[in-house]
């Protein structure tokens, strides 16, 4: 249905200074939008009333117009607007009930001055920048005046309503990792934000699970990955999960489904080797030589088959044990057990921790203060959905 709209407005300006004209136009947007909404609302109301669609919607044969002379207020991105409060009488047999249908016709939730899509916009804004900056930006460019608490509540409201699901062009390749976030009453280390991604056919990440809790807490890891793994196994038959193979991640994955195959994240191997070599008190020059040798044997010498490479690494491990580098030898031995899963499963992606790099996206927003667990979870969920899942409320 096409709704004909005519909006006329008189704007008084002091001169033709562009800044003055801009500010005058911004101030005029509220009345223009109020007139637009009022005309569209009344036109649509008359149409659905005359066509009988209103009766069908309420499951009755008789609806009587009552009044639309009263006004109701809505908060919009152009400021507060006052629009007709349309009231009708609905008859069911001998019973009649009075109902206001303004919000119903506009698609706005009952008893909410700020419409849901406005909260979504504020939620995205609050996740992309700080609450104070978002608060200033909204008022500066739209004339919508809201409190800092409104921004915060919008983030929590929207974050809870985002449902994460598998990507339409996704593969059976998943990644999981955690990062520390500063939260209240959680000690020096803070809480751990746990994220699970799926790779699509282009190798890009798609967020499929997120939770927050203590470090190595299996229950929160279960919350982050159980739904995605069950849905993934149902769709693909089996999954390859890449991670740093932390015990909490691997144990949770096996509890979710035995068809989850583990893949050691290649970036973490050579990064964590530095830590274990430090534990073994190995000299820096020798550390670099050991890491270079292992990197060459495991990844660069592609002319060798996997079995041949592992035999060479076994020789290196024996040499490390003889030199009493026990921590490094033990770690390297555990790495080889699930280092080449992606080759065995003929996956297209080589696992070099895109998830680890995505933590920068989280930290750019989180590392500005102290959070509650639920606050950190929701703001990160919206932020990651925006950057990795194509979240856009304006579509």
Is residue 368 a part of any domain in this protein? yes
**CATH number for the domain harbouring residue 205:** 3.30.420
pLDDT of residue 302: 65
Distances in Å between the alpha carbon of 146 and those of 37, 142, 180, 395?
A: 21, 11, 31, 24
Q: Do 22 and 136 share a domain, yes or no?
A: no
Do 367 and 286 sit in the same domain of this protein?
A: no
Do 22 and 88 fall within a single domain? yes
Same domain, yes or no: 374 and 256? yes
Half-sphere exposure of 172 (CA within 13 A, CB side): 19
Weakly modelled stretches of the chain, pLDDT under 70: 1, 143, 301-302, 394-395
How far apart CA 91 and CA 106 sit, in angstroms, is: 23
Residue pair 71/38 in contact by the 8 Å Cβ criterion: no
| 270 and 259 together in one domain | no
Are residues 52 and 186 part of one domain?
no
Does residue 7 fall inside a structural domain?
no
Q: Using the 8-state DSSP alphabet, how is residue 305 labeled?
A: -
Give 114-156 pLDDT, tens digit per residue. 888 889 999 999 999 999 998 888 888 776 778 889 999 999 9
373 and 325 together in one domain: no
In a domain, 12, yes or no: no
Give the domain range for residue 137. Answer: 116-161
Same domain, 146 and 259: no
Clarify whether residues 170 and 247 are in a common domain: yes
Residue 128 lies in a domain: yes
Residue 5 resides in a domain: no
How far apart (Å, rounded) are the C-alpha atoms in residues 117 and 154? Answer: 10
DSSP structural state of residue 183: B
pLDDT at 261: 92
pLDDT computed for residue 163 by the predictor: 93
DSSP-derived pairing of the beta strands 79-84 and 71-76: antiparallel
Does residue 272 form part of some domain? yes
In a domain, 124, yes or no: yes
Question: What's the total number of domains in the chain?
Answer: 4
Q: Are 386 and 127 in contact (CB under 8 A)?
A: yes
Last residue of a domain, one of 144, 161, 178: 161
Same domain, 325 and 220: no
Q: Are residues 258 and 169 in the same domain?
A: yes
Give pLDDT, residue 116.
87
pLDDT value for 266: 84
Handedness of CA 47, 50, 51, 57 (dihedral sign): positive
Task: Tell me whether residue 335 is in a domain.
Answer: yes
Residues 248 and 184 in one domain: yes
């Amino acid at each position: 249905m096409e709704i004909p709209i005519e909006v006329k407005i008189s704007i008084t300006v002091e001169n033709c200074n562009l800044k003055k004209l801009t500010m005058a136009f911004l101030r005029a947007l509220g009345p223009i939008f109020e007139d637009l909404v009022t005309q569209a609302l009344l036109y649509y109301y008359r149409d659905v009333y005359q066509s009988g669609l209103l009766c069908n919607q309420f499951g009755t044969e008789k609806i009587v117009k009552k009044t639309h002379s009263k006004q109701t207020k809505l908060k919009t991105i152009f400021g507060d607007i006052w629009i007709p409060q349309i009231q009708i009488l609905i008859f069911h047999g001998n019973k009649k009930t009075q109902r206001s249908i303004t919000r119903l016709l506009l698609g706005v939730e009952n008893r909410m001055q700020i419409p849901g899509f406005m909260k979504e916009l504020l939620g995205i804004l609050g996740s992309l920048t700080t609450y104070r900056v978002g608060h200033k930006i909204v008022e500066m460019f739209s004339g919508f005046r809201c409190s800092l608490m409104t921004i915060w509540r919008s983030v929590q409201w929207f974050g809870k309503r985002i449902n994460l699901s598998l990507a339409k062009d996704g593969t059976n390749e998943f990644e999981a990792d955690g990062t520390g976030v500063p939260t209240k009453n959680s000690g020096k280390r803070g809480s751990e934000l746990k994220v699970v991604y799926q790779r699509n056919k282009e190798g890009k990440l798609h967020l499929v699970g997120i939770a927050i809790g203590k470090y190595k807490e299996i229950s929160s890891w279960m919350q982050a990955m159980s739904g995605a793994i069950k849905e993934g196994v149902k769709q693909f038959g089996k999954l390859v999960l890449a991670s740093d193979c932390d015990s909490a991640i691997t144990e949770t994955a096996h509890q979710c489904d035995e068809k989850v195959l583990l893949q050691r994240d290649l970036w973490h191997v050579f990064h964590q080797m530095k830590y274990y070599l430090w534990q073994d008190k190995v000299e820096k020059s020798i550390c670099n030589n050991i890491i270079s040798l292992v990197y060459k044997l495991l990844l660069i010498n592609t002319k060798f088959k996997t079995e041949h490479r592992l035999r060479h690494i076994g020789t290196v491990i024996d040499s490390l044990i003889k030199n009493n580098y026990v921590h490094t030898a033990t770690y390297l031995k555990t790495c080889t057990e699930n280092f080449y899963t992606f080759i065995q499963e003929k996956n297209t992606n080589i696992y070099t921790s895109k998830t680890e790099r995505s933590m920068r996206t989280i930290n750019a927003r989180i590392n500005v203060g102290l959070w509650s667990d639920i606050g950190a979870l929701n703001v990160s969920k919206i932020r990651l959905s925006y950057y990795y899942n194509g979240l856009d409320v304006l579509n």
